[in-house]
Structure 1
Amino acid sequence: MKHTYKSLTIAAAVSALVLTGCGSGESTTATGGGLNIDVPEVPMLEELREGEGQVNIVAWSGFVEPAWSDQFTEDTGCVVNRRVAGTSDEMVTLMRTGEYDLVSASGDASLRLIAGGDVAPINLDLVPNFGDEIVEGMKGQVYDTINGQSYGVPIGRGANILQYNSEVVTDAPTSWDVVWEPDSPYAGKIIGYDAPIYIADAALYLMATQPELGITNPYALDQEQLDASIELLKTQNSILSEYWSDPTAQITSFTGGTSVVGTSWEVLRKLSEDERMQGVLPEEGSTGWSDTWMVAAEAQHPNCAYEWMNYTSAADVNGQIAMNFGMAPANGAFCDLNEEAKAHCETFHALDEDYYSNIWFWTTPLEQCVDGRTDVQCTNFQEWTQAWQTVKG
């Protein structure tokens, strides 16, 4: 099942990101053009030339399939060599071997790749299908736009929803309180996500319920804020049925009755084919994920890589990828192609920016606070990974 390959595991500790200033002492700020931090200077492709005959891609399962890669090869002469990765950490490791030209990076990997000098800035002039049809909410984001320069071409996005069994949870929940509060009526039947990035979900709930902590971005936590989030997670641990990282196991937990409420993806709810399974975006908002194509800093086949990014940014191909994987497409024009496309876009809220304005997309935690604070040092991904281990015991 395709989403088995999109889990973030504790193995991320091996190559966790620790970012500090790279000499200039400039601070980090989040802006409309992404994030402002010091990063290695990597040259950008200035001109598209003849393709090299092949392109090597690291991708999530379902992103690179014969249904569209064969046509791409026929159109461009670039043969597609695919390597499926199981985690964001694996993607980072593979990209650092120098053997791959492209990667479909999620927000919890993209900043690691940018900060490590592993990927190059994107020349959007060479990606003509990246235009007005790309939804605004996937342009210029913190996780792939640095100092006003794009490092990624959007593929798709999704939210982490609150799923519940309507046969047991008869009053449709409107808040995450049913999974975080120790007196939840569903204690012992709650499922949580098994990954350090899940700390952001706890921080998001604390943003709404403990404003005195001063959390304004769930991925920018100083030590006090991280401690509070970990304490909440430890409390939740005592009322959980289990954690999930394997989507197939998550579906089984719900359909089998082990869990009746907890974190999920819209596609998992649909794949369960169980009418009892319902989902909602709670009033506090939620975390989510957004994927982009990123080009290796020393790509051996950069022209074919750009050809691929442009090809997969077209409405029909981008939509095929989105439907195959189970997410909202980046190219909004797909939603008008036919009734099937329209239904898919409605299911995944593809054109609903109000919906996605309530989603905090996965972003690698940095010592330089991504919320713009300069008077404190935030905790980094390595510290999150270590803290997560104390939650699991």
Structure 2
Amino acid sequence: MSKHSRPSGRRVFGVLLASVSLALIGACGGDDSDSGSDSEALQELGENEGQVSILTWPGYVEDGSNDPEVDWVTPFEQETGCEVTSKVYGTSDEAFNLAKTGEYDVIAASGDLSLRLVAADEAAPVNTDLVSNYDGIFDFLKDTEWNSVDGVNYGIPHGYGANLLMFNTDVVQPEPTSWSAVFDDASKYKGKVTAYDSPIYIADAALYLMKHNPELEIENPYALDEDQLAAAVDLLKAQRENIGEYWSDYLKQISAFETGDSVVGTSWQVIVNSLDSANIKAILPEEGSTAWNDTWMLSSQAENVNCAYAWMDYIVSPKANATATEYFGEAPNSEAACAETVNPDHCEIFHAGDEAFSEQLWYWRTPIAECLDGRTDVECTDYSQWTAAWTEIKG
């Protein structure tokens, strides 16, 4: 993924999420299981090695080369003596393949990648006692199903964000409170409904069905058996009749809402902020929503373990985490980081630290054959089946 000049973190966010639409999650089921690395976490830090290699989403490791005014890498290098090299990836599938080369010490991973790394023995357990800033991280981000396995921690929480329902208040009336605006009621806005262009969007439909069609017995929008997947596909095929366009390009969605070509659909808070229009509003619907939550992980093949720990500790420190998450456009991971943001309202806007808000979110997970909701009497559909279904939905 090439990196062009970027005027702000909002653009970084948009470019990133546009790329995610191409292959949001690696199409596989076999790589992801509950098994993990048998190695033990480091017990004591040694002398820094002088360098660290980081595999990262765009906008997470900025050294001033993209924007001279955006640089939190140089202070880290000066503080630790660890020279940073980084490789930007565009999709979680790409990151999974790159991680297997063993060329990287630290990996920034979303929930659709983190457990794949653990299952493939590409992630090492992390001793959080060696990360001094870990204690300050919001408790509800720790020991979750996407950064821990069987009580063993495999990463340090970085930042997170929700998928929201965005709409034009001049057209979409009364103001919606439910995802029904883009599903059962979508015909009201035929040709002007927009949806995120990725197989993972099937989870949004599954979440809606989970709340409105209890007879389907969906317990987790990422754990769908064949019948449940078929129901989500049917809902999305019906929605397809009202879609003006599926979007993945950040600037294209902004343009569509500015011109009125789109009036209702899925979006992110940072995109709403970019529109900066009085008639554009975004809400977390009553059903809740899907979301992402990113984790810093230690490669099981890391050659520079001490500098890797130094980076993980630094990037979740209040000032560095505030700078990185505000630039990227997401919620920081701690109250102390919120106190360091340039925009004093940033954390309120992104609901940082709002546990009640977070509890309404279903963070991205890779669908696998072993049902993530704990069922053992049925096989669930994996991501390759979701990918095939998405192709069928779009026609």
User: Of the candidates 21, 37, 54, which is equivalent to residue 9 of structure 1?
Assistant: 21
Larger mean CA deviation between 2-11 and 322-331 belongs to 2-11
TM-score, normalised to structure 2's length? 0.91
The CA deviation at 1:187 is: 1.9
Distance 1:54 1:87 in 2: 25
Q: CA deviation at 1:15?
A: 4.8
Q: Determine if the alignment matches structure 1 residue 61 to structure 2 residue 58.
A: yes
Distance 2:32 2:112 in 1: 17
Query: What aligned pairs does 1:1-393 form with structure 2 within 5 A after superposition?
Result: 1-3=11-13, 4-6=15-17, 7-11=19-23, 15-18=27-30, 37-66=34-63, 67-131=71-135, 133-181=136-184, 184-337=187-340, 340=342, 342-393=344-395
Question: 1:17–1:112: 8 Å Cα contact kept in structure 2?
Answer: no
Aligned-partner SS, 1:329 = coil
How many residues matched?
A: 376
Letter in 1 for 2:240: N
In structure 2, how many angstroms separate the alpha carbons of the residues matched to 1:223 and 1:254?
A: 35
For 1:47-76, what per-residue CA distance to the aligned partner results, in whole angstroms no more than 9, with x for missing partners?
Answer: 211111111111111111122110000000
Q: Give, in whole Å, the separation in 2 of the partners of 1:253 and 1:17.
A: 36
CA drift of 1:148 comes to: 1.0
Structure 1 residues 262, 39: CA separation in 2 closer, same or farther (over 3 Å shift)? same
CA distance in 2, matches of 1:156, 1:255: 29
The TM-score, its normalising length taken from structure 1, stands at 0.91
| Cα distance in 1 for residues equivalent to 2:221 and 2:74 | 41
Cα deviation, 1:198-257, whole Å, max 9, x if unaligned, reads 110000000111000000110111111111111111111111011112222221221122
Gaps of 5+ in 1: 22-36
Q: Is the 8 A contact 1:12 1:385 kept in 2?
A: no
Structure 1: how far apart are the matches of 2:304 and 2:122?
15
In 2, the alpha carbon distance for the partners of 1:89 and 1:76 equals: 31
Instruction: Give the unaligned 5+ runs of structure 2.
Output: 1-10, 64-70
Distance between the aligned counterparts of 1:390 and 1:371, measured in 2?
26
Aligned mates of 1:272, 1:182 — CA distance in 2: 25
CA distance in 2, matches of 1:117, 1:237: 40
How far residue 14 of structure 1 moved from its aligned partner, in angstroms, is 6.3
Q: CA RMSD in A?
A: 1.7
Contact 2:31 2:120 in 1 (8 A): no
Query: By how many angstroms is 1:119 displaced?
Result: 1.1
1:336-371 Cα offsets, whole Å, 9 max, x none, are 347x45410100010211111100000111211111
CA distance in 1: counterparts of 2:321 and 2:343, whole angstroms: 11
Misfit runs of 4+, over 3 Å? 9-15
1:220–1:371: 8 Å Cα contact kept in structure 2? yes
Shift of 1:10: 4.6
Contact 2:99–2:122 under 8 Å retained in 1: yes
AA matched with 1:352: D
Residue range with higher mean Cα deviation, 134-143 or 303-312? 134-143
Determine helix, strand or coil for the equivalent of 2:123. coil
SS at match of 1:354: helix
